Amino acid sequence: MTTTTEKAPITNFQDVHSCFQALAEHTGAVLIDYTEEISILSIGLPEGRRQNVRGFLRDRSQHHCIVLMSKVCEVESYKIDYELLMKESNHLKFAKFVIHHEYLEVKASVLLENIPLDFLHEVIMEVAQAADRAEQLLTGKDLN
């Protein structure tokens, strides 16, 4: 496991699995292989809660990016308080709330060029924590 003072850059990752494997080793999260293109990290949170964050690679404007997403809830199954989500967004540095395939989700996208694992871990934690908090506020449950 890498200590938090070491800056271990992410470079030359050709697939999301190798990137998430390095993150799992770095953070102690549980790696779940989902598909060849998508991997999932199961992040431990306070009070025994867990939040899954899936990642996949995308090229955007000639840059290699990792997209990180975590489900909150099905939009049709819960009354979504969009004003509350806007207020919650004020506390986010990297992530945003999106509706994707009929689910409310938290999403962040990060360039993978010489990025330290510590920074990527910070972004993943924000995605997981924001999704978990929204899940608690909107559903009162630990769904994802």
What ranges do the domains of the chain cover?
9-139
CA gap 24, 28 in Å, rounded: 5
Give the position of tokens 């292989």.
33
CA gap 16, 23 in Å, rounded: 10
pLDDT at 58 over 90: no
* Per-residue pLDDT, 5: 46
* Per-residue pLDDT, 144: 65
Q: What is the pTM of this model?
A: 0.87
* Per-residue pLDDT, 13: 57
What is the dotted CATH code of the domain comprising 9-139? 3.30.1460.10
CA gap 10, 16 in Å, rounded: 11
Q: State the burial class of residue 90 (Cβ atoms within 10 Å of its Cβ: 0-12, 13-18, 19+).
A: exposed
Alpha helices in the chain (DSSP H): 16-27, 82-89, 117-139
pLDDT at 70 over 60: yes
Q: What is the pLDDT of residues 77-102, one digit of tens each?
A: 999 999 999 999 999 999 999 999 99
Average pLDDT value for residue range 10-34: 78
CA gap 51, 89 in Å, rounded: 18
